[in-house]
Amino acid sequence: MRALLLGRWLRAGPGPPRVPPRPESRHRGNGGNGGHGPLRQKVSVEVLDHLEHLALVDFRDSEGVERLHKAIQFADQLHEVNTDGVELMDSVLEDRCLYLREDDVTEGNCTKELLENAREKVEEYFVAPPGNIPLPKLEERETFLQGS
């Protein structure tokens, strides 16, 4: 094996390899096309529309939808793992008590600073367009999903 650049420590004679000479055998590979679960059925337009509503973000084009399909396929690998009887973990600090501060006011009075970054404001209010108006339905919206 061609010697790597410099470093006396690197030129020391070879011993038995201490690191695994071969990659994990059962590994299906990650990223790219390997490492995905079995090809599943596509996500329905209703769900895609629902997601756009929930996230208030659009798929924009078929690439966006493909991205989701690939993400789901990738995540399906999780089902290979046996998690019977395993408790879920939501924080690595679960063994410690959550810190609670005393209910004392230590800072505030920064209305001016907080309003600086808002584009639309009136006196000390943030101004929003009218609420309680649902997003137009799929048929009426300008969205990529319309064509599906």
Partner 1 sequence: AALNDGLRSQVSAALKEGRVAPTELCQRCLALIKSTKFLNAYITVAEETAMKQAEESEERYKRGQPLGILDGIPVAVKDNFNTAGIETTCASNMLKGYISPYNATVVQKLLDQGAVLLGKTNLDEFAMGSGSTDGVFGPVRNPWSYSKQYKEKSVPKSDSEESDWVITGGSSGGSAAAVSSFTCFAALGSDTGGSTRNPAAHCGVVGLKPTYGLISRHGLIPLVNSMDVPGILTRCVDDAAVLLGSLAGHDPKDSTTIQDDFEPFELPNLTDVSKLSIGIPKEYHAPGLSSEILALWSKAADLFKNAGAKVVEVSLPHTRYSIVCYHVLCTAEVASNMARFDGLEYGHRSDMKDSTESMYAATRREGFNDVVRGRILSGNYFLLKQNYEKYFVKAQKVRRLIANDFVKVFRSGVDILLTPTTLSDAAPYTEFIQEDNRTRSTQDDILTQAANMAGLPAINVPTALSERGLPVGLQFIGRSFQEKQLLTVAKWFEKQVQFPMIQLEEVKRHDSGVFQHQKSASFS
Task: Give, as ranges, the residues between 8 and 37 that touch partner 1 (CB under 8 A).
Answer: 8-10, 12, 15, 17-24, 27, 29-32, 35
Phi, psi of 122, deg, nearest 5: -135, 120
Residue 77 within binding range of partner 1, rule CB under 8 A: yes
Closer by beta carbon to partner 1, 79 or else 147: 79
Among 44, 47, 62, 146, binds partner 1 (CB under 8 A): 47
Query: Residues binding partner 1: what is the number (CB under 8 A)?
Result: 82
Among 39, 41, 109, 113, binds partner 1 (CB under 8 A): 113
Residue 142 within binding range of partner 1, rule CB under 8 A: no
Least spacing, CB of residue 22 vs partner 1, in Å: 7
Residue 122 within binding range of partner 1, rule CB under 8 A: no
Closer by beta carbon to partner 1, 2 or else 147: 2
